[in-house]
Copies of this chain bind each other. A is one copy, B any other.
Amino acid sequence: MEIPQGTVVRERFTSRVLEGNRPGDPHVRDLYLYLPPGYDKGSERYPVAWGLSGFTGRGRMLLNDNPWMPGIADRMDTLIAGGAAKPMILALPDCFTHIGGSQYINSAALGRYEDYVIQELVPFVDQKFRTLASRDHRGVFGKSSGGYGSMILGMRHPEVFGALARHSGDLLFEYCYKRDFGPAIRTFAKKGGVEGFLRSFRASPKKAHEDIGAINILAMAAAYSPNEKAPPPWCDLPFDLETGEMIESVWSRWLEWDPLVILDRHADALRKMKLLFLDCGKEDEFYLELGARAFVKALRARGIAHEYEEFEDGHMSISYRMDRSLPKLSHALAR
């Protein structure tokens, strides 16, 4: 049986805030959008959910096809056709960088990706498309680093986003990052240090699993502890490259970006959310279910309304979880 299909459109956007970014990543980028079935023929206005991709990804990847695990456009078509979700627009920005991602925040080492989304893309979409252009009808969601981005942007911009759904996002940095320090140290050493590693990484047509783990640590350092005076990727590492010993002065800068640590500063923002949905797999490879539980415990202690689901799976290939979040988001944003 055929179901009505929405439309995927690509918008090329020239960013001012990304222009001249430190690593020289492109400031002209594609924004992909999903417009629900009927958009073309009607004049209705729709809520917008901003979908943030995970580390090593960009918005377009959320549309990737797989017959047994559909892309987000096909998924929305099915959810809408079945009555589970209400029609809404999806906006899928590209915040990729030379080392795999930006965590959707501003960093001297990477660029102003928070500003890019908040100051440039959101207004652009509201101007160009028939959106319900207010925080009550604008949400943000994502998985992994995209889940982190959803949380951090939601916490910092309640005036922009009125609903938030995050899957398996970075939290409780003690667990989700530290365990990769040892492997990263080893990987750097094998390639003659960070510089040699970066060179070899770039030259490789295929990124090895261990290399992705190592570049992830660099990307987090570039996002959380940038240092423009350091050599590329212009950041401080929170550990000694030879002995692994923690450098607490750097690590404490990282912690300033752990949503769990800074929750109290942003509790009001979360309290205002029409939807605050979190989930995590019980066997998350980065042990993110621990952070999720700690965060949920903290929310409960503060009386902040939320929904939390823990599911029987790990961190990878869990886009089917959006069958939970997208309907909830669509209903929250429709109100």
If the complex has contacts A65-B60, A317-B206, are A294 and B245 also in contact, measured as CB distance less than 8 A?
A: yes
Contact residues in B for A243 (Cβ distance below 8 Å)? 172, 290-291, 293-294, 297
Q: Which of A115-123, A153-161, A179-187, A220-228 contacts B (4 or more CB under 8 A)?
A: A179-187
Contact A287 B96 (CB under 8 A): no
Bound form: Cα–Cα A181–B178 in Å:
12
CB distance from A168 to the nearest CB of B (A): 14
With CB as the reference atom, state the residue of chain B lying closest to A61. Answer: B65
If the complex has contacts A65-B64, A67-B96, A179-B182, are A294 and B244 also in contact, measured as CB distance less than 8 A?
A: yes
Within 8 A of B (CB), among A264-285: 282-283
Q: A174 at the A/B interface (Cβ < 8 Å)?
A: yes
Which of B63, B186, B205 makes the CB contact (< 8 A) with A320? B205
Q: A58 at the A/B interface (Cβ < 8 Å)?
A: yes
Q: A69 at the A/B interface (Cβ < 8 Å)?
A: yes
Q: A3 at the A/B interface (Cβ < 8 Å)?
A: no
Contact B68 A207 (CB under 8 A): yes
Copies of this chain per assembly: 4
Q: A242 at the A/B interface (Cβ < 8 Å)?
A: yes
Bound form: Cα–Cα A58–B291 in Å:
38
Contact residues in B for A28 (Cβ distance below 8 Å)? 2
CB distance from A291 to the nearest CB of B (A): 8
CB distance from A186 to the nearest CB of B (A): 7
Within 8 A of B (CB), among A222-251: 240, 242-246
Given contacts A69-B207, A175-B182, 5 further A-B contacts (CB under 8 A): A68-B100, A175-B244, A179-B179, A240-B294, A244-B291
On A, residues with C-beta under 8 Å from B are 2, 28, 56-58, 60-61, 63-69, 96, 100, 172, 174-175, 178-179, 181-182, 185-186, 205-207, 240, 242-246, 282-283, 287, 290-291, 293-294, 297, 313, 317-318, 320, 323
